[in-house]
Amino acid sequence: MPKALVECVPNFSEARRPRVVEAIMEAVQSVPGVILLDRHSDLDHNRTVLTFVGEPQPVAEAAFRAIAKAAELIDLNQHRGEHPRIGATDVVPFVPIRGVTMQECAELARQLGKRVGEELGIPVYLYEEAATRPERKNLENLRRGEYEGLKTEIETNPERQPDFGPAKLGSAGATVIGARPFLIAYNIYLTTDDVSIAKKIAKVIRHSSGGLRFVKALGLSVEGRAQVSMNLTDFRQTAIHTVQEMVRREAARYGVGIHHSELVGLIPQDALIDSAVWYLQLDQFEPEQILERRLEAALSETSTPEAGNAFLDELAAPTPTPGGGSAAAFSAAAAAALVGMVARLTLGKKKYAPVQERMQAIAQQADGLCQRMKSAVARDAQAFEAVMNALRMPKESAQEQQARQEALRAATLQAASVPLEVVRGAVEALQLAAEVIDHGNLNAISDGGSAAAQAQAALRGAALNVRINLQGLEDAATTEKMLDELTKLEAQAKTLWERVKTSLKERANLDVG
């Protein structure tokens, strides 16, 4: 399974011509390593939503190919549907799943937007976490006036100038590209065909009109029935059952009820569990009570952690690599993994409701850090091997001596740079550990303490490798700069460690030396 995993959920303005949708799906699937998870087509909306995942660059390539194919086959001048839209490919969000930060997804969006604008000649607007202006974060602001209205405004109104591509719409319209957290697309159908009721309910529940936070809503007519069409942008803050019951209450004011509801695309398991627990009034429920989760955990415990065992076997072998630097990186990765665990054990608990958003962010940051530190395990060994290879280079002639000296300098610099990167990662892990110890699930506070201890060990081990390798570097200016950074990082870590000890004592009466 890929170390870094990104989800892409593009929306295309077509559902009534299956061959067109299939051609777009084929474009996505033509990229190796990209997995198409889901397709949802709505005939009334005349809109198709695809969900695919993979490593960042392949996913971006699949998105580009899909945008190009949609531009070739969809003419917005002929398109009609209930859902607002400005483009053949209307919106392309990237969602970090594992080993990728939101910032990295935002950069992926910018890269794709630039390419689409330059190579396909399609105007591109960046939104959510990739937005270039505050007013462009919200998708509804960019869709104002839809394709027909944007046709004129893009050429006459400076506020509607695209971020990339020409200030002119062709038959493919414009595309909105960005990065955002996981979103649940959720529709509720009412027991009436009166769309005005759906619009009134949507106005009451959506955040922009003073309703529920993290809810976007429209009232539409779909299949002859009034529909409240919604995007839930943070189900941990505003749960599905909260939305469902508010719609039910508002509908009752007009003498109607809920006929049925539907999901568009995929939904996290935790979102369904939260609503099931709420409706069933399961007091003191724990996710580990779910049979499938307990079974998965049990099977995982009985499986052999081959990769970890192989690394430890290599570490014990009578060879120079992997050595202390790789071990330090491994400890930093373990620290980050433990931080992620504590953060996730805090999520979904009513007692810790005020810190839910921050814990979600910590979990994602810890995942990315863990992947970077795991990468450093191998890179540290490679850097030392490069030093050994440089030392073995011939040195008979002046030319050979110069080549050897240059290779040795570059390899030594890298051998010091990788453990310095691990020191930075260890301090980052220590900072995150301090946060989960301060505010996370008290039942897992010792795990947070273990994460901090692992980070401390990683920092000290990596710092030794920085210093020993810098002894062989003749560039005094570079050596001084790196040692200065190392000293500052060590001082920062010392302050964080004192914070960790204080918090462990105050929250759990745990003494740490």
pLDDT: which is higher, 396 or 7: 7
User: pLDDT band at residue 300, thresholds of 50, 70 and 90?
Assistant: low
Question: Using 50, 70 and 90 to split pLDDT, how confident is the model at 302?
Answer: very low
Q: What is the pLDDT of residue 223?
A: 83
pLDDT in tens, 180-239: 988 898 999 999 999 999 999 999 999 989 999 999 999 999 888 999 999 998 888 899
Look at residue 125 in the predicted model and tell me its pLDDT: 97
Give residue 422's pLDDT: 95
- Quick: pLDDT tens for 119-161: 999 999 999 999 999 999 988 899 999 999 999 999 999 999 9
Question: Residue 222 and residue 78: Cα distance in Å, rounded?
Answer: 20
* d(C-alpha 181, C-alpha 175), whole Å: 19
What is the DSSP track for 151-185?
A: HHHHHH-GGG--SBS-SS--TTB-EEEEE-S--EE
Type of residue numbered 472: G
Tell me the catalytic residues. 83, 380
Tell me if the pTM is above 0.95.
no
Cis bond before residue 354 (omega within 30° of 0): no
- Round the average pLDDT of the chain to a whole number and report it: 90
| Residue 301 reports pLDDT greater than 50 | no
Q: CA-to-CA distance for 172 and 88, rounded, in angstroms? A: 5
**Contact (Cβ atoms closer than 8 angstroms) between residue 373 and residue 432:** no
Handedness of CA 501, 502, 508, 513 (dihedral sign): positive
Report pLDDT for 321.
81
Q: Would you state the pLDDT for residue 303?
A: 45
Residue 304 is predicted with a pLDDT of 46
Encoded tokens for 109 = 């969006």
> What pLDDT shows up at residue 228?
96
Q: Express as a percent the part of the chain with pLDDT over 90.
A: 65
Which pLDDT score, from 0 to 100, does residue 1 have? 47
Asked if residue 403 has pLDDT above 90, the reply is: no
Q: Give the pLDDT mean for 43-52.
A: 91
Confirm if 67 and 116 have CB atoms less than 8 A apart. yes
Tens of pLDDT, residue by residue over 83-112, are: 899 999 999 999 998 888 999 999 999 999
pLDDT, tens digit (0-9, with 9 covering 90-100), for 325-374: 999 999 999 999 999 999 999 998 889 999 999 999 999 899 889 988 98
Query: Residue 170: which of 157, 145, 152, 151 has the closest Cα?
Result: 151
Q: Find the mean pLDDT for residues 264-281.
A: 88
Domains of the chain plus CATH, in order, are 5-179 (3.30.990.10), 184-267 (3.30.70.670), 304-508 (1.20.120.680)
Q: What is the pLDDT of residues 368-399, one digit of tens each?
A: 899 889 888 888 888 888 888 888 888 888 88
Average of pLDDT values for 400-429? 90
- What angle is formed at CA 215 by the lines to CA 157 and CA 151, rounded to 5 degrees? 20
